[in-house]
Amino acid sequence: MRTQVAIIGAGPSGLLLGQLLHKAGIDNVIIERQSPDYVLGRIRAGILEQIMVDLLHEAGVGERVAKEGTVHHSIELVYKNTRHPIDVTGLTNGKVVTAYGQTEITRDLMDARQAAGLPTVYEAANVSIHGFDGAKPSVRYEIDGQTHELACDFIAGCDGFHGVCRATVQDSITEYEKVYPFGWVGLLADVPPVSPHAVVYANSERGFGLCSMRSLTRSRYYVQCPIDDKVEQWSDDRFWDELRRRLDPAMAEAIVTGPSIEKSIAPLRSFVAEPMRFGRLFLAGDAAHIVPPTGAKGLNLAASDVKYLSTAFIEHYAEKSDAGIDHYSQRALARVWRAERFSWWLTSLMHRFPDTGGFGQKVQEAELEYLVNSEAMSRSLAENYVGLPLDFGQR
């Protein structure tokens, strides 16, 4: 079998890249090790930058997010039991974010790919990549014990943090990593969100809490937990009680609780692998970088990688130019590091760190007090939250 671009991974990165390339007339095959249901079963991101929403429209799958997404013009910061709105839209001359679950994005992209009859190999075992340092890359994989080989011009490693692509070039990579001394317990419930028009970020002496949503009838909440906690230690009652203790009294009173339909614990880490290109192999999304979810940047960074990479492939095939390909890693990493900084900063500001004690809490409260009273600092938060322009910083 042969194609122009072999895409490893059918998460949002791989599916979005596949759709954009298809729209540009570039053949591509996606090879995924899990089943479609398994991929859809992962509960992850919930807040989209406008760049991601625009890309979904460019990919021809923007209809549902336009109809069902909830536009947010602000966020709420809670500290010392008081709530402070940040007018994100006012501080960014009209920019917004949209609440729409990653699961729905994946579903929309999977449906579009299936409708277009594009080749997607699910439940592929023992995927391996070859020849990408030369002119004839290929991908090998097994289906029901039968080995297959896919020849291609390029390989896009969209296979996430635990994928095979970065592992294959491990010796040629410089890694930068910070593991945070805590995790998040996430809970999904079919109850109306306590704050349907703004994500709530709460700093409290007991730890961080976050109130988000998936729709006007489905809510997504998180509480910071010790790094070695197991989800079995978090009953629904314990979760709701702890979340209430981290919010301001009015919000704690207003929250509607209900049985969890999903509950899981995620570790928090910052991670970047440099470079993101190895000959004819390109890494995109979580395969190349991870951010703590505090800043809602992981999925949005995957979107900007895919925008840069799809544009580069289109230039290669349509304009016979490799400028975009040669510039991809440097361009993507510049944006990655800006998001890494913002996510690290917001995580450091909002979470309880075991080793900084009472002094650390007081410094965080002082910084939050300054932030909510300083237009300059609020604007800095707002412009990073909505996402800096794709060409930010380019002279």
| Omega prior to 259 cis, within 30 of 0 | no
Return the residue matching tokens 């999904």. 188
DSSP state of 257: P
CA distances for 151 relative to 28, 129, 306, 336, angstroms: 11, 10, 22, 30
State which residue has the least CB distance to ligand PHB.
46
Residue ranges of E strands in 235-367: 260-274, 277-278, 281-283, 289-290
Buried b (16+ CB within 10 A) or exposed e, 324-333: bbeebbebbb
- The tokens for 254 are 């207003």
The 3-state DSSP class for residue 369 equals helix
Query: 199 or 284, CB closer to ligand PHB?
Result: 199
Residue 375 CB, shortest distance to ligand FAS, in Å, is: 26
Using CB under 6 A as the binding rule, whether residue 263 contacts ligand FAS is answered as no
Residue 378 CB, shortest distance to ligand FAS, in Å, is: 21
Q: Which of residues 293-352 bind ligand FAS (CB under 6 A)?
A: 293, 296-300, 302
Please check whether residue 8 is in contact with residue 283, taking contact to mean a CB–CB distance below 8 angstroms: no
Q: Which of residues 3-22 bind ligand FAS (CB under 6 A)?
A: 8-14
Q: Which does 159 bind (CB under 5 to 8 A by kind): ligand FAS, ligand PHB, none?
A: ligand FAS
Q: Which does 294 bind (CB under 5 to 8 A by kind): ligand FAS, ligand PHB, none?
A: ligand PHB
Query: 299 or 336, CB closer to ligand FAS?
Result: 299
Query: 240 or 385, CB closer to ligand PHB?
Result: 385
Residue 368 CB, shortest distance to ligand FAS, in Å, is: 21
Please check whether residue 78 is in contact with residue 205, taking contact to mean a CB–CB distance below 8 angstroms: no
Binding flags for ligand PHB, 199-228, as an x/- string (CB under 6 A): x----------x-x-------x--------
Q: Which of residues 290-309 bind ligand PHB (CB under 6 A)?
A: 293-296
Helix, strand and coil content of the chain, in percent to the nearest 5, comes to 40, 30, 30
CA distances for 149 relative to 39, 121, 142, angstroms: 23, 12, 9
Residue 295 CB, shortest distance to ligand PHB, in Å, is: 6
Among candidate residues 137, 193, 292, 293, the one labeled active-site is 293
- The tokens for 216 are 């006007």
Residue type at 206 in one-letter notation = R
Q: Which does 12 bind (CB under 5 to 8 A by kind): ligand FAS, ligand PHB, none?
A: ligand FAS
Q: Is 148 annotated in the active site? A: no
Query: 3 or 98, CB closer to ligand PHB?
Result: 98
CB atoms within 10 A of CB 105: 28
Looking at the annotation, which residues are catalytic?
72, 201, 293, 297, 385
Contact set with ligand FAS (CB under 6 A): 8-14, 31-34, 39, 44-47, 102, 124, 127, 158-160, 162-164, 186, 266, 285-286, 293, 296-300, 302
Contact set with ligand PHB (CB under 6 A): 45-47, 199, 210, 212, 220, 293-296
